[in-house]
Chains A and B, each alone.
Chain A
């Protein structure tokens, strides 16, 4: 079992042969983002930027104008907020081929506490025109989405967590930008989740099954563009619950609500997410404390169905 950030470091090494113009930038966090795996293998293609994320983001823009493929890596809180304006104006506005990978996202970041637990990155990143936003839930998903991001020409943000996670996919599972995966099929309710909350949703579906409720579970790994067909399919169950380790504003829940409301026959959507700053603790403790854990998903489903 490995963390998605470690899968990220491995994926960078894996894509290098097909992307000779690849360069990886980090801001003194190579050991934490696991870009050190790439750095140790390709030192000439690694650019240490020091603790200066704003400059790093814009340097990446410059590299991209000259035909290089920069992957910018730091904690998601700095990638999406400290360097947000640089990403907007110097990367997305000119639609440059820069990939940004933010690690340690969400409450999952854990003991470091509220300053490092970004809960706003998806809100910021999805609102920037021309950006693509992906959230892998597992190491295989991370590997595949990094490959897709590298093949795609244009700005892309990937949100990656800190902790080791169970694998939910097989070596041959395929992903696509704008896609999703249905991990369980059920006709009573659809649970749409991202990141670490996908596995929690699968567990919730198992508990619901014991209560006679059949829940579909979708991994909505492509936040922007979102899989509209999957949302339509989810609406057909008549009940949707969304789950994310992110603010209830501007993330998966908001986007799903926006899509559902545009349909002729919408359905209720319960949004499970966070609406406060986090605190220090283990990821598991925080998920429970901030009501985004398995039990909360089960309760939200029961409440909506009743």
Chain B
């Protein structure tokens, strides 16, 4: 799949996620759209997963630490074939296995229950540690939110990843700059990230999180780094792909109307 195909697929997943949120009447579109290209790359270019054997002990793992953005992950899993796409329209419904935040017990393809910020990265460290202890060659990926790194536990996890040289772990920061109460700067500064992460002893990369060539290069560099965990600062746009949602704090956690969904569909050029 080339960059153009990935881009089109990512936009398709964006629409599927927005439609799911519309059907649910609630959810988190902004952060789902900012993660869309990264998730698309993971599931359609990078990860070894088997929809027929979702618990394969040798599979690559993905932990969506910013679990509230899960509609985009659900869209990717449905597109991949872990469950029927019709299930997406039942997101957050009483009879659905698609919970408001990822639930590993009931949703095929989910590797870790997340939603309480700061915890997914620690779980990813645990899975990476298990891989080392059990001499497995799977890789572990996690996407964390930028607001999420205000949690102290995030930094505890970085210490752990460094101490145990979790080279099989790749942490991706979805750096869209916005969180519920405003910009990162307004809420709690998270500046000098490259310096901070480097000082934790991590292989630190910085990319445009919507540029597939840069994403691909980062994944290659992470894989080639054999002695350290990698963290990628992926600069993204909250609400990416839908003009009226882009860089709007208000789209962190509300569902689109039917009209807004139609406009989004047109902008995303989804058939």
Give the interface of A toward B (CB within 8 A). Answer: 23, 44-45, 47, 49-50, 52, 54-55, 57-68, 70, 85-86, 89-90, 93-95
Q: Would A67 and B111 count as touching, CB distance under 8 A?
A: no
Q: Would A61 and B130 count as touching, CB distance under 8 A?
A: no
Of B112-120, B171-179, B241-249, which binds chain A?
B112-120
In addition to A55-B156, A66-B57, A90-B116, 16 A-B residue pairs with Cβ atoms within 8 Å of each other are: A45-B133, A52-B159, A54-B153, A58-B157, A59-B126, A65-B123, A66-B127, A66-B130, A67-B57, A67-B130, A85-B116, A86-B116, A86-B153, A93-B103, A94-B112, A95-B105
Q: Would A62 and B126 count as touching, CB distance under 8 A?
A: yes
Could you say which of B113, B128, B133 contacts A89, with CB atoms under 8 Å apart? Answer: B113
Could you say which of A47, A49, A52, A58 contacts B123, with CB atoms under 8 Å apart? Answer: A58
Could you say which of A50, A55, A68 contacts B125, with CB atoms under 8 Å apart? Answer: A55
Q: Considering only CB atoms, which chain B residue lies closest to A48 in the complex?
A: B163
Kindly state the separation between the CA atoms of A52 and B158 in the bound complex, as whole angstroms: 11
Contacts of A94 in B (CB 8 A): 103-105, 112-113
Question: Does B145 lie at the interface of the complex (its beta carbon under 8 Å from any beta carbon of A)?
Answer: no
Question: Does B256 lie at the interface of the complex (its beta carbon under 8 Å from any beta carbon of A)?
Answer: no
Kindly state the separation between the CA atoms of A27 and B230 in the bound complex, as whole angstroms: 24
Contacts of A60 in B (CB 8 A): 126
Contacts of A89 in B (CB 8 A): 113, 115-116, 119
7 A–B contact pairs at CB < 8 A?
Answer: A52-B160, A59-B126, A86-B119, A86-B153, A89-B115, A90-B119, A94-B113
Q: Would B122 and A59 count as touching, CB distance under 8 A?
A: yes
Q: Would A63 and B153 count as touching, CB distance under 8 A?
A: no
Question: Does B189 lie at the interface of the complex (its beta carbon under 8 Å from any beta carbon of A)?
Answer: no
Chain A: minimal CB distance from B201 (Å):
14
Q: Would A63 and B127 count as touching, CB distance under 8 A?
A: yes
Kindly state the separation between the CA atoms of A306 and B69 in the bound complex, as whole angstroms: 63
Kindly state the separation between the CA atoms of A94 and B128 in the bound complex, as whole angstroms: 18
Q: Would A68 and B134 count as touching, CB distance under 8 A?
A: yes
Question: Does B124 lie at the interface of the complex (its beta carbon under 8 Å from any beta carbon of A)?
Answer: yes
Question: Does B77 lie at the interface of the complex (its beta carbon under 8 Å from any beta carbon of A)?
Answer: no
Contacts of B163 in A (CB 8 A): 50
Chain A: minimal CB distance from B251 (Å):
26
Q: Would A62 and B116 count as touching, CB distance under 8 A?
A: no
Chain A: minimal CB distance from B95 (Å):
19
Give the interface of B toward A (CB within 8 A). Answer: 57, 61, 63, 103-105, 111-113, 115-116, 118-119, 122-131, 133-134, 136, 152-153, 156-157, 159-160, 163-164
Q: Would B111 and A65 count as touching, CB distance under 8 A?
A: yes
Contacts of A57 in B (CB 8 A): 122
Could you say which of A62, A64, A66, A85 contacts B122, with CB atoms under 8 Å apart? Answer: A62
Kindly state the separation between the CA atoms of A47 and B131 in the bound complex, as whole angstroms: 14
Chain B: minimal CB distance from A73 (Å):
15
Q: Would A55 and B130 count as touching, CB distance under 8 A?
A: no
Chain A: minimal CB distance from B162 (Å):
11
Q: Considering only CB atoms, which chain B residue lies closest to A61 in the complex?
A: B123
Kindly state the separation between the CA atoms of A60 and B122 in the bound complex, as whole angstroms: 9
Q: Would A58 and B129 count as touching, CB distance under 8 A?
A: no
Chain A: minimal CB distance from B129 (Å):
6
Contacts of A61 in B (CB 8 A): 112, 119, 122-123, 126
Kindly state the separation between the CA atoms of A257 and B74 in the bound complex, as whole angstroms: 45
Q: Considering only CB atoms, which chain B residue lies closest to A95 in the complex?
A: B105
Q: Would A62 and B125 count as touching, CB distance under 8 A?
A: yes
Q: Would A23 and B133 count as touching, CB distance under 8 A?
A: yes
Q: Known contacts A60-B126, A89-B116, A90-B113: does B156 contact A66 (CB below 8 Å)?
A: no
Kindly state the separation between the CA atoms of A45 and B134 in the bound complex, as whole angstroms: 11
Q: Would A59 and B152 count as touching, CB distance under 8 A?
A: no
Kindly state the separation between the CA atoms of A64 and B111 in the bound complex, as whole angstroms: 11
Contacts of A95 in B (CB 8 A): 105
Q: Would A59 and B115 count as touching, CB distance under 8 A?
A: no
Chain B: minimal CB distance from A52 (Å):
4
In the A-B complex, the 5 residue pairs with the smallest Cβ-Cβ separation, listed nearest first, are A62-B126, A58-B122, A66-B130, A55-B156, A62-B123
Contacts of B61 in A (CB 8 A): 65-66
Contacts of A68 in B (CB 8 A): 130, 133-134
Contacts of B125 in A (CB 8 A): 55, 58-59, 62
Kindly state the separation between the CA atoms of A296 and B134 in the bound complex, as whole angstroms: 53
Contacts of B124 in A (CB 8 A): 62
Contacts of B159 in A (CB 8 A): 50, 52, 55
Kindly state the separation between the CA atoms of A95 and B106 in the bound complex, as whole angstroms: 11
Could you say which of A23, A49, A65, A93 contacts B160, with CB atoms under 8 Å apart? Answer: A49
- Residue from A54, A66, A68 having most chain B Cβ neighbours under 10 A: A66
Q: Considering only CB atoms, which chain B residue lies closest to A90 in the complex?
A: B119
- Residue from A47, A63, A86 having most chain B Cβ neighbours under 10 A: A63
Chain A: minimal CB distance from B225 (Å):
21
Q: Known contacts A62-B125, A62-B130: does B153 contact A55 (CB below 8 Å)?
A: yes
Kindly state the separation between the CA atoms of A129 and B131 in the bound complex, as whole angstroms: 29
- Residue from A44, A54, A60 having most chain B Cβ neighbours under 10 A: A54
Chain B: minimal CB distance from A138 (Å):
33
Q: Would A52 and B113 count as touching, CB distance under 8 A?
A: no
Q: Would B130 and A93 count as touching, CB distance under 8 A?
A: no
